[in-house]
Amino acid sequence: MNTNFRVLCDFDGTIALDDVTDALLTAFADPEWETVEEAWKAGRIGSDECMRRQVALLRAGLDDVNALLDRLPIDPTFPGFVRLCQERRIHVTVVSDGLDHAIDRILKREDLSLEVRANRLVHSATGGWALECPHAADTCRVQAANCKCAAASEARDSLTVLVGDGRSDICLAERVDFVFAKSIGGTPSTLLAHCRAHNLPHRAFESFAEVADGLAELGAFRDAA
C-alpha cells in the first residue's frame, strides 16, 4: 500500500453519473418522497431523516431494484482510475451518503472491489424497505446520514484526497488535504462552489481521467510501485 496517498470518493453524481437513490425513488417510490426531498432541500430535516423516510416509501421487489441498478451508468473512466490506483498501491474508499446495496451491485458489475462506507439498505422478509445508518453522527455539521468526516481522521500520515460533488462532501472537504470537485459542462457542483468560496485546495474535474492526471501532478504515483 502506498502510505503517502489515499483517496476518499463519493458515489452518487461522482462515480455514478446520476443520483442512484433518486433514480430508485423516481421509479419505485410513493410520490410523497418528493415532499420529503423538498423539506431536506429547505434545511428543515437532515439527510438522515430524509433518506429513512424516503426509503420506507419504496414499493418494489428486490429483482426490480436490481434490474434498474444494472442499467445505471458510471463514469466510463472510473474503472481505469481504480486499476491505476491499485497498481500503484493507493487505497480508494467509497464514502457515500447513498445506499450500500446499490453501490456494491454496481461496483460488482464493473468487476471492482473497493471498501465502501455507506448507508445500509435493508429489504425485509415482508417486502418492505428500511434504512440503517451505521456511520451517522449527532455532531455532523450537515446532518448527513453518513457523516463522512470520520473517514478523514484515519491514517493521518497519508495525504488524503477527496473526490466528490455534493452537499454531503462539504464537511469532509474541509478536513482533507486536497479536493477534486465535480464540474458538469462547466457548471460547478455544490462542492466545487463551496471550495471556491472558501479557498480550499482543489481542482475541478469532469472525468476520473482528469483526477488521475491531478493525482500525478500531486506526486501520488511517484515511487509508488
For the chain, what is the domain count?
1
Q: Which residue has the cell 414499493?
A: 59
* Structure confidence at residue 47 (pLDDT): 84
pLDDT the model gives residue 208:
98
Structural domain includes residue 15: yes
Instruction: Please check whether residue 225 lies inside any domain of the structure.
Output: no
| Three-class SS of the chain | CCCCEEEEECCECCCECCCHHHHHHHHHECCHHHHHHHHHHCCCCCHHHHHHHHHCCECCCHHHHHHHHCCCCECCCHHHHHHHHHHCCCEEEEEEEEEHHHHHHHHHHCCCCCEEEEEEEEECCCCCEEEECCCCCCCCCCCCCCCCHHHHCCCCCCEEEEEECCHHHHHHHCCCCEEEEEEECCEECHHHHHHHHCCCCEEEECCHHHHHHHHHHHCCCCCCC
169 in any annotated domain: yes
CB-based contacts of 56, cutoff 8 Å, min separation 6: 128, 129, 130, 131
In a domain, 77, yes or no: yes
User: Could you tell me the pTM of the whole model?
Assistant: 0.91
CATH number at residue 37: 3.40.50.1000
On whether residue 60 sits in a domain, the answer given is yes
* Structural domain containing residue 158: 5-218
Question: How many residues does the structure list for the chain?
Answer: 225
Q: Specify the pLDDT at position 1.
A: 46
Tens of pLDDT, residues 145-189: 788 887 777 656 689 999 999 888 998 999 999 999 999 988 999
223 located within any domain:
no
Averaged pLDDT in 10-residue chunks for the chain of 225 residues:
81 96 97 95 89 96 97 98 95 95 98 96 90 83 77 75 92 93 94 96 97 94 62
Q: In this structure, is residue 224 part of a structural domain?
A: no
